[in-house]
């Protein structure tokens, strides 16, 4: 009789544990993701955001459309994402990608050497010669860069200290 009672209690315990696990998964999948989507759509320039798993790692994928203040947008998304890294999907063109590639030398050198004033001059010169509008900002952790030309916009956040908050942005 005691063995049967222990077996019954164990089975009930396993059943309850299983239900709790399933409930947690459903909560994260349905309500948490819906909450992130709803809150992200209230951020200017953000079309959608969702948590996805890529190669076993979670990330917050954010589709953008004409972001006007990348530092503020990024700050709001960081609060929303918590420890989940953010990847921007923008409306870039091949031409804007080429211009960013030209700017990478000055951007990366400034992170290593700390010559941010020189980096700003070099990046502005490249943007002016290419005929693109540049919005360049930085804080103690990131460099925020937005390139605009016509309907195309390239958005990127370059981390200065490898905090893994932002992933390489891509074309949507």
Asked if residue 34 belongs to a domain, the reply is no
The CA-atom distances, in angstroms, between 107 and each of 49, 137, 141, 147, 163 are 27, 12, 14, 14, 17
pLDDT exceeding 90 applies to what percent of the chain?
62
| Helices and strands per DSSP (H, E), number in the chain | 5, 7
Asked if residue 26 belongs to a domain, the reply is no
The rounded Cα 103 to chain-centroid distance in angstroms is 21
Which pLDDT belongs to residue 27? 59
- How many domains in the chain? 1
Residue with the larger pLDDT of the pair 72 and 50: 72
Asked if residue 56 belongs to a domain, the reply is yes
For 18-52, what is each residue's pLDDT tens digit?
777 776 665 565 555 666 767 777 898 999 888 88
Which residue range(s) make up the domain with 86? 41-171
User: Would you call 170 helix, strand, or coil by DSSP?
Assistant: strand
Run of H or E residues at 89: strand 86-90
Asked if residue 101 belongs to a domain, the reply is yes
Sheet holding 142-149, edge to edge: 133-138, 142-149, 152-159
For 98-130, what is each residue's pLDDT tens digit?
999 999 999 999 999 999 999 999 999 999 999
Strands 133-138 and 86-90 come out as: unpaired
Asked if residue 72 belongs to a domain, the reply is yes
Nearest C-alpha neighbor of 62 from the set 47, 79, 42, 75 = 47
Asked if residue 167 belongs to a domain, the reply is yes
Tokens of 85: 């890294």
Contact between 93 and 151 under an 8 Å Cβ cutoff? The reply is no
Which pLDDT belongs to residue 18? 77
Instruction: Say which residues have a Cβ less than 8 Å from residue 78's Cβ, sequence separation at least 6.
Output: 86, 165
Q: Give the pTM.
A: 0.80
Residue with the larger pLDDT of the pair 26 and 135: 135
């Amino acid at each position: 009789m005691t063995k049967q009672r222990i077996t019954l209690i164990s089975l009930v315990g396993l059943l309850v544990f299983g239900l709790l696990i399933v409930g947690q998964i459903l909560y994260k999948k349905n309500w948490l993701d819906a909450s992130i989507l709803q809150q992200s759509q209230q951020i200017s320039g953000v079309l959608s955001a969702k948590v996805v798993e890529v190669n076993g790692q979670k990330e917050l994928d954010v589709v953008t459309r004409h972001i006007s203040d990348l530092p503020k947008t990024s700050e709001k998304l960081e609060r929303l994402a918590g420890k989940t890294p953010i990847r921007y999907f923008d409306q870039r063109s091949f031409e804007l990608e080429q211009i960013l590639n030209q700017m990478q030398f000055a951007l990366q050198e400034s992170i290593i050497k700390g010559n941010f004033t020189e980096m700003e001059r070099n990046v502005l010169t490249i943007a002016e010669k290419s005929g693109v509008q540049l919005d360049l900002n930085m804080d103690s952790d990131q460099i925020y860069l937005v390139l605009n030309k016509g309907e195309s916009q390239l958005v990127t956040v370059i981390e200065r200290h490898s905090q893994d908050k932002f992933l390489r942005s891509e074309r949507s």
